[in-house]
A and B are shown apart, each in its own frame.
Chain A
Amino acid sequence: MNGTFIINGNSRNFTFPSDATLLQVLRENGYSEVKEGCNQGECGACLILLDDELVNSCQVLAGSAIGHKITTIKGIGDIHNPHIIQDAFVESGAVQCGFCTPGMVMATYYLLQKNPMPDDNEIKLALSGNLCRCTGYVKIIQAVKLAAERIRNEG
């Protein structure tokens, strides 16, 4: 198959097998910031935004995403100009091994767009599809709260 995707604002054309997942196509074409943790839609490491929806890219056939807008973690901020959420994760000590972090940040980004003032339970539910074995989630939840507060203050 062949198709064009709008990835982080850039139009990109790829050729791939018809049974390839979006995760495979992204990783094979240099988007290594999207992580593969289980390939079964259970760990959340491969979360991206497909148009405006949060999806596990390992559960999406690449062919079905042709022509759509894809946002990865590098699409919301980079090392020179990080997003408030990325900064908040760093500052809160929410990044240990960092393998779950891209997915966690995307889930947080999605949550805060829908709900700028989430309480603890809403945060926990929003992140329930993202597994982390390093942090015990404590500092990740603090990071989400810190990011929410800063985004509100900026707003």
Chain B
Amino acid sequence: MKDKFDTIGKSIRKIDSLGLATGEEKFTDDFDFPGKQNLLHLAILYSPHPFAIIEKIDTTDAEKMDGVVDILHYGNTSRVLYTSAGQGYPEPSPYDMVLFDKKVRFVGDRVAMVAAETPHVARAALEKIYVEYRQLEPLFDMEKALNPDAPKIHNDDEYMPIPSVYDISKNLAAEVRINFGDLEKGFSDADFIIENTYSVQYANHCVNEPHSAIAYFDERGRLIIISATQVPFHARRITSKLVGLPIGKIRVIKPRIGGGFGAKQEVLLEPLVALVAIRNKRPARLVLSREEVFVSSRTRHPMRVKLKTGVKNDGTIVALDMDALMNAGAYGSHALTVLANAGSKVLPLFNKIENINFVGRTVYTNLPVGGAYRGYGATQGYAALNQQIDIIARKLGIDVLEYIKKWRIGEGETSPVFEALGEGKEGVKQFINSCKLDECIDRGAKAIGWYEKRDKRIRNGDKVRGVGVAVAMQGSGIPRVDMASAYIKMNEDGSFNLHIGATDIGTGSDTILAQIAGEVLTVPVDKFIVRSSDTDLTPFDVGAYASSTTYVSGNAVRICAQKIATQIISVAQKLLDCDEENLILDNGMVRNIETDESITFERIGYYAFYEQDQFQIQAGASYYGTESPPPFIAQFAEVEVDTRTGQVKVIKFVSAVDCGKAMNPKLAEGQVEGATLNGISYALWEDYKFDDRGRMLNSNYSDYKIFSAADLPDMETIIVESYEETGPFGAKSVAEIGINGPIPAIANAIYDAVQVRLFHSPFTPEKVLEKIQNKK
């Protein structure tokens, strides 16, 4: 373990931040590109019905309009089944959609798309497309989806590209079952049984930059796609398949991205702009409106969790039965893997439970489509588990913090769940190398004032305060699935080009990865010219998801930089004429530790380029993770409940996180702060409101409220460092975990204040007040 670093652990300025703060950096829709004056603007016609067959589509009048160039629909596009989930190949998501289908499955499903000379004409033409729908009976209630008489959302040739349970005759998009020990015996040994049903709701990522993509041809006739994507390489592969152009004829460029959170781990717009560009040999641009982002892109999967636990009076959980029902909406993007994570990222945290049954099912409904969303199933699972743990500890009459510390997973320990449940396949057996959860709990408790406030019900008129806690873990990439790569070359002045497939979506990964390379090569971040996520210029990386970039891509960069270091030393050895064993990199030079003689990288660079046995100092490396060390977090909420109105206000929120070694503490804190506030906003406010025809009623920021600065509670983030031996310089991950705690921590704090249990988020004044009144 290395404990002294030059670059790692320093809050280096994010390398793109000044360009962003001065408006110089470019997002997708900010680019000039060849042929821009010839650009086609796109507008999409969406289904007004939740479930219908298109009997007839008449585009004659629209085609006659001045400026309309092309209209795409099921009748003139090929039917290729795919999933929009931007995952590895083959995707562990059902191939259940086509670009334009004859059947529409939710209000917001694509019916047709117009390409026109101006945005105004494109939109106006939508009104001249006449569609005859034959409406079908829709299915909105996920609890009824598995009933034999329920409408079948998919009933054609849809299929799952990997071996996995998938049954469209039952609306079943995915199913996961694991079982250990003897559940019945476990329950019969229990002194008491706690059984509750929890649920979490639809939510939107609310990426600040709407989904955007541009396609054009370069001077050699290759298709260039600029896209707001978290997964440029997957976007290239999936687009290639859908538009019938070889991968080698497509280049995907990821510029600056205005927020991802999973929303852009979805291949939504790239095939559309590509298809229009190919059909018309003209550039095409598509930027979704805010309403389109809400309705037609992707959402948090709603989930209902039935949790039954058998407990001994000494606190031992002798049996745990978890039944998770997840709503995919109309298409099954990430339907299997989000579901699996509700078990695999959640159950191992309390690894002493010997008898476990987990049944997860994802079902189709005629509602908006779920997808990847920060937390990715763990958020849904922890909402249930952390409330259940609070209930158990209260029933036992012991402090929940002590309870968690006694029963949580620890260093050197494992859980059978790791091996049983993976992402789309079996998991990977792993032991916990680093876990500072107890310290997270202790420091978080101190910061929130746990022992001064818990069970005190401090009252101020109608308002009562309470505190609650939640704990969680996540992963660091998907083991035996995720691969990342890096390429480095040295210039003769001792600067380096660092090319990474990794996708910086605002997280700061370009900076973090330069810090990792800089640590190996003993030079500051400004010695690196970083280029990331351009499928022509950078090596492959699966993309920004699963909290993988620092750990997986970081390891690739570390290995790559070590290869460069070896080459630098071999040149230095010639110049200094000594044993290589005596040479080390030191502050941008190579130093002979025996003689203290030094030589600069610049001298080495000039020698390698121009003097003798000339060659380019350069290397590439890949990393393929076989483990996914979990970060850990303890999150504490202090709330004030207005017993007259039911209003819940979060007064203070503390997150104490063990993310391994924090590569850049300010950026790590920023990840936790952003995830946490997103979680608080979700816990209290955010939800999709539908009318009785499945139409979203609140598809704008006036009606779908997210937290603004004015709503911000007192937030405190504590980084509790551990050192993960398998990570680059001790790192694990930090991007998602902070969103897992707010729902249960706030629910537990509400109980602490007013002794009512809110099992179903969001915790609106109406729900809270009803509970308070029913209690009386």
Residues of A bordering B, CB below 8 Å: 17, 27, 32-40, 42-43, 45, 72-74, 77-79, 82, 86-87, 89-93, 95-102, 105, 123-125, 127-141
| Residues of chain B lying within 8 A (CB to CB) of residue A96 | 14, 259, 506-508, 670, 674
Q: Given known contacts A40-B701, A42-B702, A97-B209, is B21 in contact with A135 (CB within 8 Å)? A: no
Known: A128-B709, A139-B670. 18 other contacts (CB 8 A): A27-B29, A40-B700, A42-B701, A42-B702, A96-B259, A96-B506, A97-B257, A97-B505, A97-B506, A99-B208, A127-B709, A129-B708, A131-B706, A133-B259, A133-B678, A135-B674, A137-B712, A138-B715
Say yes or no: A93-B700 contact (C-beta < 8 A), given A86-B22, A98-B258.
Answer: no
Could you pull out 12 A-B pairs where Cβ atoms are within 8 angstroms? Answer: A17-B120, A32-B23, A32-B26, A33-B24, A35-B258, A40-B290, A96-B670, A99-B208, A125-B710, A133-B207, A134-B674, A138-B715
Q: How far is the CA of A38 from the CA of B256 in the complex (A)?
A: 18
The yes or no answer to B673 lying at the interface (CB within 8 A) is yes
Q: Are A135 and B206 in contact (CB under 8 A)?
A: no
When A72-B23, A131-B208 are in contact, do A124 and B710 touch as well, CB less than 8 Å?
A: yes
CA gap between A17 and B119 in the complex, in Å: 12
**Could you say which of B13, B505, B506, B702 contacts A40, with CB atoms under 8 Å apart?**
B702
CB contacts (< 8 Å) of A82 on chain B: these are: 18, 21-22
- Please determine whether B290 and A39 come into contact, CB atoms closer than 8 angstroms: yes
Q: Are B25 and A43 in contact (CB under 8 A)?
A: no
Do A93 and B666 touch (CB < 8 A)?
yes
Bound complex: CA of A105 vs CA of B20, how far in Å? 11
- Which residues in B have their C-beta under 8 angstroms from that of A139? 666, 669-670, 673
Tell me which residues across on chain A come within 8 A of B711, comparing CB atoms: 128
Contact of A134 among B22, B25, B256, B259 (CB under 8 A): B259
Q: Is there an interface contact between A136 and B674, defined as CB atoms closer than 8 Å?
A: yes
Min CB–CB distance B230 → chain A (angstroms): 11
Closest to B11 in A: A93
Find chain A residues with CB under 8 A from B709 CB. Answer: 123-125, 127-128, 130, 132, 137, 140-141
Task: Chain B residues near A133: list those with CB within 8 A.
Answer: 205-208, 259, 261, 674, 678, 706
Are A35 and B676 touching (Cβ within 8 A)?
Answer: no
Separation in Å of the B338 CB from the closest CB of chain A? Answer: 20
Q: Which of B20, B21, B210, B708 contacts A128 (CB 8 A)?
A: B708
Q: Which of B714-772 contact A (CB under 8 A)?
A: 715, 717
User: Are the C-beta atoms of A37 and B209 separated by less than 8 Å?
Assistant: yes
Leading 6 A-B pairs by shortest Cβ distance: A33-B23, A97-B506, A98-B20, A99-B258, A136-B673, A136-B677
Please name the residue on chain B nearest to A74 by beta carbon. B23
Q: Which residue of A lies closest to B207 (CB)?
A: A133
A89 near B210 (CB under 8 angstroms)?
no
Contact A135 B673 (CB under 8 A): yes
Chain B residue nearest in CB terms to A139: B670
Cβ-defined contact, B209 with A99, below 8 A: yes
Flag whether B280 is at the interface (Cβ < 8 A).
Answer: no
In the bound assembly, the distance between CA atoms of A102 and B26 in angstroms comes to 12
Q: Give every chain B residue within 8 A of A140 (Cβ-Cβ).
A: 709
Give B577-592 as 1s and 0s: 1 = Cβ < 8 Å from A's Cβ atoms.
0000000000000000
CA distance in complex: A141, B258 (Å): 20
Query: How far is it, in angstroms, between the C-alpha of A136 and the C-alpha of B289 when the chains are bound?
Result: 24
Cβ contact within 8 Å between A135 and B708: no
Interface status of B16 (Cβ within 8 A of chain A): yes
B208 x A43 contact (CB < 8 A): yes
Interchain CA distance A37-B208 in the complex, whole Å: 6
Residue of A nearest to B703 (CB): A42
Please, which residues of chain B bring their CB within 8 A of the CB of A92? Answer: 666
Residue among B205, B259, B712 making CB contact with A99, cutoff 8 Å = B259
In the complex, A92 Cα to B18 Cα: how many Å?
12
Q: Which residues of B contact A34 (CB under 8 A)?
A: 23
Cα of A33 to Cα of B14 in the assembled complex, Å: 19
Residues from 361 to 420 in B contacting A, C-beta threshold 8 Å: none
B17 at the interface (CB under 8 A from A): yes
**A40-B290, A133-B674, A136-B676 known; A97-B258 Cβ under 8 A:** yes
Residues of B within 8 A of A17 (CB): 120
List chain B residues, Cβ under 8 A from A43.
208, 290, 701
Nearest opposing residue in chain A for B681, CB measure: A133
User: Could you tell me the dominant secondary structure of chain A's interface residues?
Assistant: loop
Interface size class of B (residues with CB under 8 A): 35 or more
Contacts of B19 in A (CB 8 A): 79
- A27-B285 Cα distance, complex, nearest whole Å: 15
Interface presence of B149 (CB below 8 A): no
Contacts known (A39-B290, A123-B709, A138-B712); A132 close to B20, Cβ less than 8 A: no
Q: Does B607 reach chain A (CB closer than 8 Å)?
A: no
Determine if B289 and A39 form an interchain contact, defined as CB atoms under 8 angstroms apart. Answer: yes
Shortest Cβ distance from residue A122 to the other chain B in the assembled complex, whole angstroms: 11
The proximity string for B residues 470-496 relative to A, scoring 1 for CB distances below 8 Å and 0 otherwise, is: 000000000000000000000000000
Q: How far is the CB of A108 from chain B (nearest CB, A)?
A: 11
> Chain A nearest CB: distance from B595 CB in Å?
41
Q: For residue B208, which residue of chain A has the nearest CB?
A: A99
B667 at the interface (CB under 8 A from A): yes
Does A93 contact B669, Cβ atoms closer than 8 Å?
yes
CB distance from B116 to the nearest CB of A (A): 15
Expressed in whole angstroms, the Cα–Cα distance for A102 and B21 within the complex equals 6
Q: Give the chain B neighbours of A39 by CB distance below 8 A.
A: 289-290
Question: B701, A79: Cβ atoms under 8 Å?
Answer: no
Which residues in B have their C-beta under 8 angstroms from that of A105? Answer: 21
For A73, the closest partner residue in chain B by CB is B23
- Asked if B27 is an interface residue, CB under 8 A from chain A, the answer is yes
Tell yes or no: B3 within 8 A of A by CB. Answer: no
Residues of A within 8 A of B25 (CB): 98
Chain B residue at minimum C-beta to C-beta distance from A17: B120
Find chain A residues with CB under 8 A from B207 CB: 133
User: Separation in Å of the A35 CB from the closest CB of chain B?
Assistant: 7
Taking the complex as formed, is B613 at the interface, i.e. its CB lies under 8 A from any CB of chain A?
A: no
The residue on B at minimum CB distance from A97 is B506
Q: A128 to B257: give the CA distance in the assembly, Å.
A: 23
A95/B14 in contact, CB under 8 A: yes
Q: Cα distance A123–B710 when bound, in Å?
A: 8
A131: B residues at CB distance < 8 A: 206, 208, 701, 706, 708
Given A78-B22, A98-B17, A139-B673, does the pair A134, B712 have CB atoms closer than 8 Å? no
Q: Could you tell me the distance in whole angstroms from the C-beta of B176 to the nearest C-beta in chain A?
A: 30
Rounded to whole angstroms, the CA-CA distance of A100 and B208 in the bound complex is 7
Asked if B21 and A98 make an inter-chain contact with CB atoms under 8 angstroms apart, the answer reads: yes
Contact status B21-A138, CB under 8 Å: no
| Of the residues A37, A101, A130, contact of B21 by C-beta under 8 Å | A101
B685-703 at interface with A (beta carbon < 8 Å): 700-702
Asked, given contacts A42-B700, A97-B208, A138-B673, whether A73 binds B22 with beta carbons under 8 Å apart, the answer is: yes
B611 at the interface (CB under 8 A from A): no
Q: Report the Cα distance A18→B84, complex, angstroms.
A: 39
A77 touches B22 (CB 8 A): yes
Q: How far is the CA of A79 from the CA of B25 in the complex (A)?
A: 10
**Bound Cα distance from A140 to B670, whole angstroms:** 10
Residues of A contacting B11 in the complex (Cβ-Cβ under 8 angstroms): 93
- Residues 20 to 65 of chain B near chain A (Cβ within 8 Å): 20-27, 29-30
Q: Give the CA-CA distance A36 to B26 in the complex, in Å.
A: 13
Q: B702–A134 contact, CB under 8 A?
A: no
Quick one: which of B491-513 are within 8 Å of A by CB? Answer: 505-508
Contacts A137-B709, A137-B712; A93 near B14 (Cβ below 8 A): yes
Contacts of A128 in B (CB 8 A): 708-711
* Contact residues of B between 119 and 158, Cβ < 8 Å to A: 120
Q: Are B710 and A99 in touch, CB under 8 angstroms? A: no
**Which of chain B's residues have a CB closer than 8 A to the CB of A98?**
16-17, 20-21, 25, 256, 258, 506
**What A residues does B260 contact at CB under 8 A?**
97
A117 to B261, CA, bound (A): 35
Known contacts A37-B210, A130-B709; A95 and B674 CB within 8 A of each other: no
Whether A99 pairs with B27 at a CB distance below 8 angstroms is yes
Determine the distance from Cα of A38 to Cα of B703 in the docked complex, in whole angstroms: 13
Smallest Cβ-Cβ distance to B508: which chain A residue: A96
| Binary per-residue interface labels of chain B (254-287) against chain A in the complex, 1 for a CB within 8 Å, 0 otherwise | 0011111100000000000000000000000001
